Chains A and B, each alone.
Chain A
Amino acid sequence: MFVLLQDVQKHSVHTLVFRSLKRTHDMFVSDHAKAVALDDQSYKMKMAVKMRAEYKPVLHMPVLKEGRERGPLHASDPYGQLGYPLPGALPHYLVTGTHPYPSAPGVALTAETQMQKMPFLNSGLLPRKAPTMPKPQWHPPWKLYRVISGHLGWVRSIAVEPGNQWFVTGSADRTIKIWDLASGKLKLSLTGHISTVRGVAVSTRSPYLFSCGEDKQVKCWDLEYNKVIRHYHGHLSAVYDLDLHPTIDVLVTCSRDATARVWDIRSKANVHTLSGHTNTVATVKCQSAEPQVVTGSHDTTIRLWDLVAGKTRATLTNHKKSVRALVLHPRQYTFASGSPDNIKQWKCPDGNFIQNLSGHNAIINTLAVNSDGVLVSGADNGTIHMWDWRTGYNFQRIHAAVQPGSLDSESGIFACVFDQSESRLITAEADKTIKVYKEDDTATEESHPVNWKPEILKRKRF
């Protein structure tokens, strides 16, 4: 840019310092009482940098409701960040420079040194941010493309094999059937339970299939021989659900005797009995991060357990009715629970409440979630609601027709899972069929627009 007209003279340090001091004096000698005039651009830059560098984690803090209501809504500033307005924009804030004299209230030395009004109107020192409602992500609608019938009773549970080749269903006709995922044909039928099979799970670490039933039995089937090799004895009443720990060889089952039991797979020993619920424990989920075991019960509470000690970590009592369904998000550190009043989302590890997904006013038997953020809730009256996980927007409602020959009242969904590729939804129904859904490829954002009408002020109290 500049052309050096002369070579830089080499001076001693003393000389340089003296020169700089002199220059400073010359610059400021005229009125050093006055504050330095703020340069707009430099100020903006400085604030932006400072905020990003020092206050980045705090930028998105939740705003208290009082603050939002009473404070005036500011237009978002160009940085899209908190409302630290420019000095000239609003007279309410002022970043005061350094004065030799302390600013006393009411004493103004000069017009320029006059301290402006108090910075905040409310007590909360949190910055007020314009509440921008996030737009829900568009998901293609799901449609039914296959109905598999073969069971002679309600299909109560489903599990998909880790290699995505086949899936297993447990039914009220006391059999466990293995179906080919691609074609829907029956591969194998396993008998052994003497009452309804309520839960099935396929192990990712060993070739085992686990099943539990209303006959208090928990069975471990060896899939190489298609035989039962282990029984886990100890439950006092019907076993309603089971789940496998992803990393430890441990099985957790939950039962109508208000306990959940943790079993060592190999030795069949009952490691922990998680008691604390006062009514049937309807659902249990295991994960490798804390909380390792989450149970939902008919006493309307959800308990997060410490697997090491076998004790409750936290009890969530937000639901008003029985919690029959739980699901852990595959990517996020959150989980959701379903009950007839609404579906609630929670944050691990302490179970902090995030939000409600209301609208599915039916007994929710099952929940399933996709990596794309599609949450599926299946109800006892046969309806399926599809939700966007992040915003809670219900983008689709499906009520599939019953199998011909069934009564209309025989529609209900007992279990639903996504397959390992998360592109197919498999549901287990009360009209003795298994229905498979997939995303409708022909739908676009225009054909199925997002009709998002959020409540700006969440005035509902839960």
Chain B
Amino acid sequence: LLSQDQLEAEERSRVQRSQSTALVSTRREPPPYGFRKSWVPRALEDFGDGGAFPEIHVAQFPLEMGRKKRTSNALAVQVDAEGKIKYDAIARQGQSKDKVIFSKYTDMLPKEVLNEDDPELQKPDEEAVNELTEKTRAALEKQVSQKIAAAMPVRAADKLAPAQYIRYTPSQQGLAFNSGAKQRVIRMVEMQKDAMEPPRFKINKKIPRGPPSPPAPVMHSPSRKMTVKEQQEWKIPPCISNWKNAKGYTIPLDKRLAADGRGLQTVHINENFAKLAEALYIADRKAREAVEMRAQVEKKMAQKEKEKKEEKLRELAKMARDRRAGIKAHGDKGGEDTEVRERDEIRHERRKERQHDRNISRAAPDKRSKLQRDQDRDISELIALGQPNPRTSSEAQYDQRLFNQNKGMDSGFAGGEDEIYNVYDQPFRGGRDMAQNIYRPSKNADKDMYGDDLDTLMQSSRFVPDREFSGADHGPRRDGPVQFEEDPFGLDKFLEEAKQHGGSKRASTSGRSKDYDHEKKRRKE
């Protein structure tokens, strides 16, 4: 039951007693177990090489373990040789003391302009440079050779360095250690490397890169802030290609053209275009006028010709009429004449029309006759033209939709089918009505008049003029119903002359009527 002080005093005396000259570790050993009653470990050394003492009821932190440390990465404020605070300690955290780091404001300031041959600005002298070169070359050689050796195949085993001998004086001394000896001699030999050993470690693993070296302090003022105006100046409109549209965006037309810049250009048209157009217009008008005038003139000419011809014809006709009138007896055959004439005219006209149609069909076979055209006409056209109205048929007409009632709603509607046209069940008038309207005489049209066999009747040769009895002589051949004799007295001739002289001197162009003049002509001949 010794107090701490007494224990210390004992220790001191013990030390004094052992008068050894060898190095002894002066360690403060804690008192052995059982003798620790009023002993409290205060310093780190009091723990010796052991831990805390559970029987001593005091908070103990051997090796500083167990203390609540507030870990902060704050650096302690350091002061340099002149007494100024080292503010660049932060910038120099992970690096060696002698690394060149610029962090002061004065590093940014321009220095005074020095003379050219100022010693500060001179390159280091030759020897220093050569020395540096050699050093660098050696280092690089080593690197290169290492790399090449790594790549080259296995060679002979390296000769290892010879053994080294080391004299060692351990710090722990005593009879127990080293069997009482104060020093030891150690023989150090390099371990032999197995030349055939394959590589021991896998180096194909990819690991992420380590953190970079701490960033250097930025030695310039921060960039100027960007104003809104400047930002607007640098705005680039999105690209709208005239060729590609990968996502298939629908882009309004003005944006499509905007990229091209076409809207910005003013279109310059040469004024000669307008002049050309005007000139063409004028020329066209002039040409038309000229053509019109020419046509008019020609029409007038043609008309004049026609009139002339008509005049001539009229005169001829008149002449013929006069001659006829002259030959014929004066009778009031005027009325008959006019009727005959009218009938003739009508006949004439009809013949002409027929001829005309025949000519057309000969000349332009594609051109259909009126009849054919009306046959092929569409119903709307017929209506438009005001062709014969649809005949109300005798039977009552029913709406087709009323039929097929079992079809139900679909009847007539046909389920919405657009292609079917089923509003009407019968055609408008068919083609038969037109055909019905046209008089088409059948073969036996005059059946009720002449009986069935019109052909046989026509070909009967019973009623033949000048049928002679069999065996009779041929009588005088008769050309016409009345056979005239030759002119015995020459009265015709006389009368003609008289007529000719009596009337004006006219060329004797007789009318073309077949019946009379043809006869006359024959008589003359």
Contact = CB atoms under 8 A, between A and B. Distances in A.
Interface of A: 60, 62-63, 65, 131, 133-134, 247-248, 250, 262, 264, 267, 269-272, 276, 288-290, 292, 301, 304, 307-309, 312-320, 331-334, 347, 350-356, 373, 390-392, 458, 461-462
23 contacts: A60-B112, A63-B112, A134-B113, A248-B140, A267-B144, A271-B140, A276-B212, A288-B129, A288-B132, A317-B216, A318-B220, A319-B220, A320-B223, A333-B121, A351-B100, A351-B102, A352-B102, A352-B107, A353-B111, A354-B111, A461-B221, A462-B110, A462-B219
A390 B124 contact: no
Nearest to A134: B113
B114 A301 contact: no
B136 interface: yes
A29 B128 CA distance: 60
Given A272-B143, A289-B129, 8 more contacts: A62-B111, A271-B143, A288-B133, A309-B139, A314-B100, A318-B108, A320-B220, A352-B111
A308 B102 contact: no
Highest count of chain B CB atoms <10 Å: which of A308, A320, A373, A392 = A308
A312 B148 CA distance: 25
B121 A355 contact: no
B217 interface: yes
Interface string B80-122: 0000000000000000000111100001111111111010111
B13 interface: no
Contacts of A331: 123
A347 B107 CA distance: 12
B121 A347 contact: yes
A353 B110 contact: yes
A150 B360 CA distance: 83
B100 A289 contact: no
A247 B213 contact: no
Interface residues of B, number: 42
A462 B216 contact: no
Nearest to B100: A314
A63 to B, nearest CB: 8
Contacts of A269: 144, 147-148
Nearest to B128: A289
B142 to A, nearest CB: 10
A440 B437 CA distance: 115
B100 A350 contact: yes
A130 to B, nearest CB: 12
A458 to B, nearest CB: 6
A312 B108 CA distance: 20
B324 to A, nearest CB: 104
Given A316-B219, A351-B100, A391 B121 contact: no
Contacts of B113: 133-134, 355, 390-392
A276 B128 CA distance: 28
B137 interface: yes
Contacts of A356: 110
A60 B220 contact: no
A301 B143 contact: no
B139 to A, nearest CB: 4
Interface in B417-461: none
B112 A292 contact: no
A289 B132 contact: yes
Nearest to B113: A134
Given A315-B216, A316-B219, A334 B121 contact: yes
A284 B108 CA distance: 23
B218 interface: yes
B140 A307 contact: yes
Nearest to B137: A248
Contacts of B108: 318, 353, 461-462
Contacts of B102: 314, 316-317, 351-353
Contact of B123 (A247, A332, A350, A353): A332
